[in-house]
Structure 1
């Protein structure tokens, strides 16, 4: 096994991360889930007028999330599947959206008898709202949104909760078997897959690929606060140029660091990673993976970075078909 660009593979297998975990982390997320569960989701399902398939009904799913934001997901429902049938949640990369109806694995899975829901993350490239309302910078970047405010104002707190709320909505559909639900996604979508299964422990299987949003301090210390993590450097340059509050900021980011949620995961996890990933460094991915205590497996691509990992999504689809 070749070296990764940040540490040897043998060290990756035991690496535990360095970003601090807030002392009240579990209480923080228990309170967040209680807030989510108190929301009236006001669900609307509207079939798409322009795109339908012989075997799949394609609809727009709208619901209300924490803070009153209206959230959107693309919903794929099999027309001839047995009831109740399994379901899969799909999450997209940072700044993107659920995409076209033909994007990703949704139609393949739905044609195989699955309900599939593909979330638009609030404030990104799709239709879901970011209702704002935080102190401090909103210049660019959602990782640091709310970092100068109370921890409850961190935007990714809301986005993580949106994934769990979508899972709850799908599980409560009359034609879905709530005991046979999975989740998948890459990069930010990989992070949201892991956050979702941590916050909704009834989900049975997860297939994340090179997950984002993990071990922020490691990213910083590797001088990899660029590309998808560039806003970390931007934040310090504009709001703490001498790093006098660095410890405070990284601890606050610990509330939305997926590695800290991993002890909650009950799902079986199949994760894909490229050891030459300079966008989401391998060590940050392993910081999360190594904290998962449920059944898990790792698909390793030694020569690949943050790119298509050949064969992984085929394996992920087959993994979900085993639900």
Structure 2
């Protein structure tokens, strides 16, 4: 194997390890409820009927005479069919019905063993690449964001870097970074990892999934010869004790996704989206940066931020987005699944179903940013995701006219296999000339 290939493989492996705590495969349980559509690619045409193959196993052996209940219907919507079965040989076939329009139909099965419930599900796709978004783009969408960018550019960056000797390696210097963003005194924090060798380097901006947490930085790719900046979004330092984030998550930032949704100029994500662009500004200010080659990557909320950043900043050369959140938020208002944070689902409808909030959501919906992408992107998700439903992610993906690569791992939910991250890393490094 050539040296370059070995380095590429090593980088991919390191990246997998880096993200494994955030995108880990669920642990196996004593009883496995295995559900799968009767077609290998899980994809059907509208109007075709799907059957779901079911097996309940213990130690990989079918469990005899076990009772199950099941339900099936459009994902995230009330089920259309329900039933109960006793699996004499541990297996069964369930008639899942069909969808007359493009979308996803989900079958959920609950098995009861020794008084405990075990759940399995599978989701069949119906003409997924024909799914169209329910949201629409406001006429002044791009002007709104151009004005916001211009206002943010007037805020001095006032970047501050503090070396973290305990995190540095033989090849990489690691810093905590604070950058002024959005208004005077408001800051964005992150972990910057910079190769020590002489020369100029490309860069990766890593944007975060939802939540409130500390960050370690992407040291592995920095050792590969890439500047990496991993940012938080909440304006708080990212190297504090874990208990601090737990307290903030449960108190001041509980439900931050809903903050000021009735005002497009004050909605929580305005500062977040602008913060991603400010992070790009910071990378371009670094003397070690090659001045040109930069990609952005993330999953879930981070997948959304990757699309937003690449759409709003022409300096970005490409992106990686796993199961992007914040896509087609108004789906629930049209009797189908909407994207995380499910602003208009049944649980949030009474609070958020107001004209001003619906209108604000359009200025932050990933679908409307996806329409403006001009750079290559790598996208990946599964059909069983109940956090960022595939109806919503396809709503964004299908409007993208820029070069795009979709890598499906159909059975996955809101998690990834190592192979997904390996392919994503290869894609990103290739764009960076690595």
For the aligned pair, the TM-score class normalised by the smaller chain equals 0.7 to 0.9
Change (3 A) 1:267 1:178: farther
Q: CA RMSD in A?
A: 2.6
Structure 2 unaligned blocks of 5 or more: 1-40, 45-73, 76-102, 105-124, 241-251
Q: Identify the residue that residue 8 of structure 2 maps to in structure 1.
A: none
CA distance in 1, matches of 2:318, 2:304: 14
Q: Identify the residue that residue 407 of structure 2 maps to in structure 1.
A: 299
Shift of 1:60: 0.7
Shift of 1:111: 0.7
CA distance in 1, matches of 2:144, 2:358: 16
CA distance in 1, matches of 2:174, 2:410: 38
SS in 1 for 2:298: strand
Q: Identify the residue that residue 80 of structure 2 maps to in structure 1.
A: none
Change (3 A) 1:30 1:120: same
Q: Identify the residue that residue 52 of structure 1 maps to in structure 2.
A: 168
Shift of 1:308: 1.9
CA distance in 1, matches of 2:296, 2:396: 16
- TM-score (normalizing by structure 1): 0.85
Change (3 A) 1:219 1:176: farther
Choose from 234, 241, 262 the match for 1:122: 234
Q: Identify the residue that residue 134 of structure 1 maps to in structure 2.
A: none
Contact 2:342–2:348 (CA under 8 A) maintained in structure 1: no
Shift of 1:231: 8.2
Mapped pair 1:142 → 2:250: no
Change (3 A) 1:282 1:125: farther
Shift of 1:83: 2.2
Structure that is richer in strand per residue: 2
CA distance in 2, matches of 1:229, 1:313: 26
Count of matched residue positions in the alignment of Structure 1 and Structure 2? 303
Shift of 1:178: 2.7
CA distance in 2, matches of 1:124, 1:10: 43
Higher relative contact order (CA 8 A, sep 6+): 1
Shift of 1:291: 2.0
SS in 1 for 2:379: strand
Contact 1:71–1:127 (CA under 8 A) maintained in structure 2: no
- TM-score (normalizing by structure 2): 0.64
Contact 1:144–1:235 (CA under 8 A) maintained in structure 2: no
Residue correspondence of structure 1 range 160-199 to structure 2 within 5 A: 160-199=273-312
Mapped pair 1:72 → 2:189: yes
CA distance in 1, matches of 2:294, 2:320: 12
Shift of 1:219: 4.5
Shift of 1:289: 1.4
CA distance in 2, matches of 1:217, 1:16: 12
Contact 2:339–2:392 (CA under 8 A) maintained in structure 1: no
Choose from 394, 397, 404 the match for 1:289: 397
Shift of 1:250: 1.7
SS in 2 for 1:229: coil
Shift of 1:188: 0.6
Structure that is richer in helix per residue: 1
Contact 2:343–2:349 (CA under 8 A) maintained in structure 1: no
Choose from 324, 334, 338 the match for 1:211: 324
- Give per-residue Cα distances to partners, 1:97-155, cap 9 Å, x unaligned: 45234xxxx12211110000000111589479xxxxxxxxx88422321123x311011
- Give per-residue Cα distances to partners, 1:285-309, cap 9 Å, x unaligned: 1121122221111011111111123
Greater Cα radius of gyration, structure 1 or 2: 2
CA distance in 1, matches of 2:291, 2:400: 22
Contact 1:144–1:232 (CA under 8 A) maintained in structure 2: no
SS in 2 for 1:207: strand
Residue correspondence of structure 1 range 87-106 to structure 2 within 5 A: 87-97=203-213, 99-101=215-217, 106=218
Choose from 214, 222, 232 the match for 1:110: 222
Q: Identify the residue that residue 2 of structure 1 maps to in structure 2.
A: 42
Q: Identify the residue that residue 178 of structure 2 maps to in structure 1.
A: 62
Contact 1:109–1:317 (CA under 8 A) maintained in structure 2: no
CA distance in 1, matches of 2:149, 2:294: 19
Contact 1:198–1:264 (CA under 8 A) maintained in structure 2: yes
